[in-house]
């Protein structure tokens, strides 16, 4: 009896940094990057809400939860085959820089912190689901 998976991976599990020059990201990988950027944007809006109003607005909370939920679904789909965290970090950063136009070191540091925060929140959500 053959116990091999019925699904053939579209891309090998590897760091995007090694494959970056060889193969452009797939639409699914671009979707991950876009969703990481959207979640980072929602978190940034939450920080701004907190600074202005002392807490996140309901709309910002819903937006953040929706983005993290979408990333959670994508991670469940991709993690067995792809290096989801590497894709999320790299393409999320690239997508956020493209959307925001981060041009100097300070802005890039903020982008890095936002992307790291998204990936950490997602990691905690995955761990909570496992326990």
Look at the alpha carbons of 118, 120, 123, 127 in this order and tell me if their dihedral is positive or negative.
Answer: negative
Q: How many CB atoms lie within 10 A of CB 124?
A: 11
Which of 7-16, 26-35, 68-77 is predicted least confidently? Answer: 7-16
Determine the pLDDT at residue 21. 61
Which residues lie closer than 8 Å to 108 by C-beta, 6 or more apart? 97, 102
pLDDT digits (tens, 9 = 90+) for 17-50: 454 567 899 999 999 999 999 999 999 999 999 9
Determine the pLDDT at residue 13. 45
Structure tokens belonging to residue 130? 């496992």
Indicate the average pLDDT of the chain: 86
Rounded Cα gap, residues 46 and 51, in angstroms: 9
pLDDT digits (tens, 9 = 90+) for 88-108: 999 999 999 998 887 899 999
């Amino acid at each position: 009896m053959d116990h091999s998976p019925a699904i053939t991976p579209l891309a090998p599990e590897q760091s995007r940094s090694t494959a970056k020059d060889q193969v452009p990201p797939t639409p699914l990988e671009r979707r991950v990057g876009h969703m990481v950027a959207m979640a980072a944007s929602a978190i940034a809006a939450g920080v701004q809400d907190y600074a202005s109003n002392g807490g996140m607005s309901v709309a910002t909370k819903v937006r953040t939860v929706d983005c993290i939920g979408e990333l959670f679904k994508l991670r469940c789909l991709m993690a067995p085959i792809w290096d989801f965290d590497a894709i999320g970090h790299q393409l999320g950063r690239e997508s956020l820089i493209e959307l925001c136009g981060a041009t100097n070191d300070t802005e890039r540091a903020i982008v890095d912190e936002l992307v790291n925060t998204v990936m950490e929140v997602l990691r905690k959500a995955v761990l909570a689901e496992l326990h």
